[in-house]
Chain A
Amino acid sequence: MEYQEIVEEAFATLSLNKLRTGLAMLGIIIGIGSVIALMALGQGSQKAVANQIQSLGANLLTISPASQRGGFVQGGAGSASTLTYADALAIENSSEIVNVERVSPEFSRRAQVTTGGKNTNTQIAGVTPNYSVVRKVEVSAGNFITDRDVSSQTKVAVLGPQVVSDLFGDNATPIGQSIRIQGQSFRVVGVTVSKGGSGFQNQDDVIYIPLTTAQKSLFGSTSLSSISVEAKSEDVMVAAQDEIGYLLLSRHKLSDPAISLIVGGIGIMNIMLVTVTERTREIGLRKALGAKKAVIITQFLVEAIILTLVGGLVGMVLGIGASYIIAKIISLPFAISLISIVLAVTVSGGIGIAFGFYPAKKASNLQPIEALRYE
């Protein structure tokens, strides 16, 4: 039997069983479509992270995770939009980032602080030495957090002037004294110069401690609340923003889509397996009428390829369309990358072909009468 005729036979069988073909194709369309849509939305939400890169000064950018804004897509597998120290290091060290001068990761949370008889509730900022340069914080007495403090998780604190007056009284110099943050003792090593401000944005009402101490000893968290970045100059701000956005996008890509890929794959697998009984009988009959194993296997392989190709194409178009519409509705940036499409089509398509083909191969190994009687 010629190959051309096997292909014709595959087409004929597919068009004869419109319901079955339609269902199988629907499975693949939904599989591939949903994977693409989910990946696109996932990337959209990550792009929202990147889009929160705000300009705070002439050459200052801050990156904060979208989840803190209560974004829509964060729901389940939220880790996609979590910033980590590794992200900060990547921005600092990546060879693709050329327009960034300094990076300052930060983990902040409010906590109760006590000393002697007094106590206050204030912002605790876990920072690295870069913070003082990037955010232009100067000390009026003592010194700021050092690299050594960060690397060895020392329990030292630099106090804002407001905190000093809250805890020690106006114009006190508390260097060398100790304070308790959430019950843990810290030694005061510096006091910052007053910058003004009020309420939660009051930059004087803050205690700086080493980033590592804040994350590990005090709050037990691995994420960051923000990353501040100093661009090399005002002129390259936009370029720096793009570089960082792209880097974070690629760093956070694979967690959500892996789940959607599996979900889509299971859907495809199911619909292909559902038709096994009917197809096994057909294989038994074709064998009984003299079909050789190779001919049967080729026909079924061609059928599976046609199904996944057509279904994959339709699923791709629908997935891109759906994610565009959803992104518009929930006002998320529309971001779709070639790699997500390629990944969705190859993985889902591969599953479709494998599970269309594998049962056929198995059935073709049965005695014809066993396959004919298959239930």
Chain B
Amino acid sequence: MIQVKNVSKIYETGEVETKALDNVSFNINDGEFVAIMGPSGSGKSTLMHILGALDTPTSGTYILDGKKLENLNDDELADIRNRKIGFIFQAFNLLPRTTALKNVMIPMMYAGVPKKERLKVAQKYLEMVGLSDRMLHTSNQLSGGQQQRVAIARALVLSPSIILADEPTGNIASTQAEEIMAIFQKLNKKGHTILMITHEPDIAEHAKRIIHLRDGKLVEDGNGHKQKIAAVKSKVI
């Protein structure tokens, strides 16, 4: 369970103060499928980074499965990033000049999974994202969509209970986007919590709940389907 209480994030660049997140609070239960929406600059990515234990809030508390993250040391946070959370970056962030297979095996290496098993699991997940014929290609030999799918496989290999995806379909064709959503649906049915940032209503529709951010504030939080209908209605009118 994710509990976010009064979380703010302020960036200071010289004299200018930017409030990327402004007193945001919400809870996400295990097994939810949540889309985070909002215009660019609304703080979506910042929120995602905090939820992924990649960044720390300026103020407020983030409680993950009953543990306050601010109380954990560096190694404990590394373990959480490694086993509990699968993070899919908007910019993929694959290791350059490294094969898809090796990229996918890295989290398992840090988790201490035996080498033989690493290879088997990595192959399994690369097959799942449809890259069985691209395993030995290095990241720069892959298309944007293929890199995105390697990043997804990498986020899934340790079967984390929470999957955080920052625009997982932002850089790929719509048919592939549907495939990825199908994977997310499947994982969600298995009980994984999924949070994803998107600005495409079609993609957000797959989620059961949508959180809207604007100027760092949470402006709407509710049932995705109803919102979708409302949005369509407003367009019609």
Contacts and interface: CB of A to CB of B under 8 A. Distances in A.
Interface in B28-87: 49, 52, 54-56, 74-75, 78-79, 81-83, 87
A368 B54 contact: yes
Nearest to B112: A1
Contacts of B128: none
B81 A286 contact: no
Classify the interface of chain B: helix, strand, loop or mixed: helix
B75 A288 contact: no
A285 B93 contact: yes
Contacts of B112: 1
Interface in A267-315: 282, 285-295
B230 interface: no
A290 B56 CA distance: 16
B229 interface: no
Contacts of B98: 16
A369 interface: yes
A290 B78 CA distance: 5
Contact of B74 (A1, A17, A292): A292
A369 B49 contact: yes
Given A367-B54, A369-B49, A289 B74 contact: no
A370 interface: yes
B93 A288 contact: yes
A1 B109 CA distance: 7
B161 to A, nearest CB: 14
A372 interface: yes
Interface in B136-169: 154
Interface string B118-148: 0000000000000000000000000000000
B87 A288 contact: yes
Interface in A317-375: 367-370, 372
Contact of A293 (B74, B79, B106): B74
A119 B24 CA distance: 101
Given A1-B112, A16-B98, A285-B93, A290 B107 contact: yes
A138 interface: no
B139 to A, nearest CB: 11
A16 B106 CA distance: 15
B91 to A, nearest CB: 9
B82 A290 contact: yes
Contacts of B52: 288
Contacts of A291: 78, 82, 110
Interface in A150-201: none
Given A9-B109, A285-B95, A368 B74 contact: no
A13 to B, nearest CB: 9
Contact of B95 (A1, A5, A282): A282
A288 B82 CA distance: 8
A175 B145 CA distance: 105
Contacts of B106: 286, 289
Size category of the binding interface on chain B: 20 to 34
Contacts, number: 61
A287 B95 contact: no
Nearest to B93: A285
Nearest to A294: B75
B22 to A, nearest CB: 19
Contacts of A288: 52, 54, 81, 87, 89, 93
Nearest to B46: A369
Of B97, B107, B110, B111, most A-chain CB atoms within 10 Å: B110
B78 A372 contact: no
A245 B98 CA distance: 57
A292 B54 contact: no
A293 B83 contact: no
A287 B55 contact: no
B44 to A, nearest CB: 14
Of B49, B83, B89, B98, most A-chain CB atoms within 10 Å: B49
A370 B55 CA distance: 8
B146 to A, nearest CB: 18
A294 B79 CA distance: 13
B75 A369 contact: no
A313 B173 CA distance: 52
A5 B82 CA distance: 18
Nearest to B160: A290
B93 A292 contact: no
B111 A290 contact: yes
Contacts of A295: 110
B74 A290 contact: no
A219 B97 CA distance: 68
Contact of B154 (A1, A287, A289, A368): A289
Nearest to B86: A289
Contact of A5 (B74, B83, B109, B111): B109
Given A287-B78, A289-B82, A368-B54, A17 B107 contact: no
Contacts of B54: 288, 367-369, 372
A292 B112 CA distance: 12
Given A287-B78, A292-B75, A293-B74, A367 B55 contact: yes
5 contacts: A1-B110, A5-B109, A287-B81, A292-B78, A367-B55
Sorted nearest first, the 6 A-B pairs with minimum C-beta distance are A290-B82, A369-B54, A290-B110, A368-B54, A369-B55, A292-B78
Interface of A: 1, 5, 9, 12, 16-17, 282, 285-295, 367-370, 372
